[in-house]
Amino acid sequence: MENLIDKIRRHEARCGIIGLGYVGLPLALEFARAGFRVTGIDVDRGKVDAIMAGRSYVVDVSDAEIAEQVAAGRLMATSDFAAIAELDTVNICVPTPLRKTKDPDLTFVVSAVNEIRRHLRRGQLVILESTTYPGTTEEVVLPALEASGLQVGRDFCLAFSPERIDPGNPQFNTRNIPKVVGGVTPACTEMAAALYAECVDQVIPVSSTRVAEMVKLLENTFRSVNIGLVNEIALMSHALGVDVWEVIDAAKTKPFGFMAFYPGPGLGGHCIPIDPFYLSWKAKMNGFEPRFIELAGHINESMPRFVVEKITDALNRHKKSVRGSRVHILGVAYKAGVNDIRESPALNVMKILTDKGAMLSYSDPYIPAIREEGLCLDSLPQKNGWLANIDCVVVLTAHREFDYGSVVESAPLVVDTRNALQGYRGENIVRL
């Protein structure tokens, strides 16, 4: 294994990334920019072809960044797992969704690990980056890799390092977010830390894979619970006739001991609504009944219905029923500035409205079409008269690209769940 650490320091190690999505593609580019030769492996041939053609499908990555690394021979993509045999390091960045029962679905991790085992050889470093419950690396990945006959620490290294990127965040990226690393053995931690040290600004070694796995779940549970809390405060404020946004704006002037979280139509994306349930599942398997995670989950999941209640009440005041009303959704991505609709609360809000008989349309510069949850809609461009004949506009994602002034001017009713209309006044505005 000593040979590998030298190769890493000389940037001669061949790096591989399995899973080239929101996490894997930026990581592959970071390794390539550091001077490593990187092979990305993905089962999605569309992504492989896009990379080889210098085309990006991730908001934070430009076509030029990919094209530059491909042209320099530092980045290539393939769907052929035989490429693993040529690699010195392999980072696994595949999805970790939940089943309908809210149990972890490790199918993608298991399938990637089985491919690695088929091609594993002495002197390789394997790092799991997919978010998962504490114990996955040692209970699931390690036995699968050791079934090859090779032994961890002696023949190959294995570590866990959570990915902490925040898509659409212009300030923090793969390079400047500190990288937490925990190996199965101290030598594994050292090896993984050495690799990341070449391409990220700061590496934080921890004592085990379990700690590294739990770090990510603490971070995302912290967000889920605090968003659940502020959503409950929003529901309470509604009952008390208080403007929750004004309360938060004033509270956040406290220079210590308070961190602002904002209410909204619910949680979305591949992380916050999902990851805490990985922890909750594992805790239950060990006889511990987690309460905060479940409670926050209930409150956050109730928000789409609350939004629909707000829309219903607003239309009612205009002597209209939801059935037959034309409701236009502004923004369906799970958050501003991203082209990701996974788990977006907009899908729930739209499904409930459709079930109630509303006639839906939407605009989202990042999501050209929706073909899921029984919805089949194309994004309407924002042009003159785009809101003519609409009974109610609902802001679900506060993209900067929207012309909120014209929305307030032309829509008879606007339900704003994101405080996007802060600063606008009008009888037609209803806030969450």
Ligand X SMILES: NC(=O)c1ccc[n+]([C@@H]2O[C@H](COP(=O)([O-])OP(=O)(O)OC[C@H]3O[C@@H](n4cnc5c(N)ncnc54)[C@H](O)[C@@H]3O)[C@@H](O)[C@H]2O)c1
Catalytic residues: 271
Render the burial of 86-122: b for 16+ CB within 10 Å, e for the rest: ebbbbbbbbbbebeeeeebbbebbeebbebbbebbee
Q: Which residue is nearest to ligand X (CB)?
A: 21
- Between 271 and 314, name the residue whose CB sits nearer to ligand X: 271
In this structure, are residues 112 and 94 in contact, taking their beta carbons and an 8 Å threshold? yes
In this structure, are residues 86 and 60 in contact, taking their beta carbons and an 8 Å threshold? no
Q: How many residues does the chain have?
A: 432
In this structure, are residues 277 and 297 in contact, taking their beta carbons and an 8 Å threshold? yes
382: which 2 tokens? 């924002």
Q: Which x/- pattern, by CB under 6 A, does the window 211-250 give for ligand X?
A: ----------------------------------------
| Interface with ligand X (CB under 6 A), residue from 17, 32, 38, 47 | 47
Site for ligand X, residues 143 to 172, rule: CB under 6 A: 163-165, 167
In this structure, are residues 84 and 41 in contact, taking their beta carbons and an 8 Å threshold? yes
CB of 151 to ligand X, least distance (A): 24
| Interface with ligand X (CB under 6 A), residue from 270, 310, 328, 399 | 270
Residue 238 CA neighbour count, 13 Å, CB half: 17
Region of 37-45, 307-315, 355-363, 367-375 interacting with ligand X (CB under 6 A): 37-45
| Maximum Cα–Cα distance across the chain | 76
CB of 12 to ligand X, least distance (A): 25
Region of 36-44, 230-238, 297-305, 387-395 interacting with ligand X (CB under 6 A): 36-44
- Between 23 and 420, name the residue whose CB sits nearer to ligand X: 23
- Between 78 and 302, name the residue whose CB sits nearer to ligand X: 78
In this structure, are residues 432 and 307 in contact, taking their beta carbons and an 8 Å threshold? yes
In this structure, are residues 94 and 109 in contact, taking their beta carbons and an 8 Å threshold? yes
Region of 18-26, 171-179, 207-215, 321-329 interacting with ligand X (CB under 6 A): 18-26
Site for ligand X, residues 76 to 135, rule: CB under 6 A: 93-96, 108, 111-112, 130-131
CB of 276 to ligand X, least distance (A): 12
Query: For ligand X, how many residues bind (rule: CB under 6 A)?
Result: 27
In this structure, are residues 138 and 152 in contact, taking their beta carbons and an 8 Å threshold? no
Helix (H) or strand (E) holding 91: strand 89-92
Residue 325 CA neighbour count, 13 Å, CB half: 26
24 binds ligand X (CB under 6 A): yes
Region of 19-27, 230-238, 293-301, 360-368 interacting with ligand X (CB under 6 A): 19-27
18 binds ligand X (CB under 6 A): yes
- Between 30 and 391, name the residue whose CB sits nearer to ligand X: 30
CA–CA distance, 76 with 16 (Å, rounded to integer):
10
Handedness of CA 119, 121, 123, 127 (dihedral sign): positive
| Interface with ligand X (CB under 6 A), residue from 4, 8, 66, 271 | 271
Q: Which x/- pattern, by CB under 6 A, does the window 398-427 give for ligand X?
A: ------------------------------
16 binds ligand X (CB under 6 A): no
CB of 153 to ligand X, least distance (A): 25
Euclidean distance between the first and the last CA atom of the chain, given in angstroms as a whole number: 57
Region of 21-29, 170-178, 222-230, 356-364 interacting with ligand X (CB under 6 A): 21-29
Q: Name the nearest CA neighbour of 209 among 128, 264, 89.
A: 128
> Which residues are at the interface with ligand X (CB under 6 A)?
18-24, 41-44, 47, 93-96, 108, 111-112, 130-131, 163-165, 167, 270-271
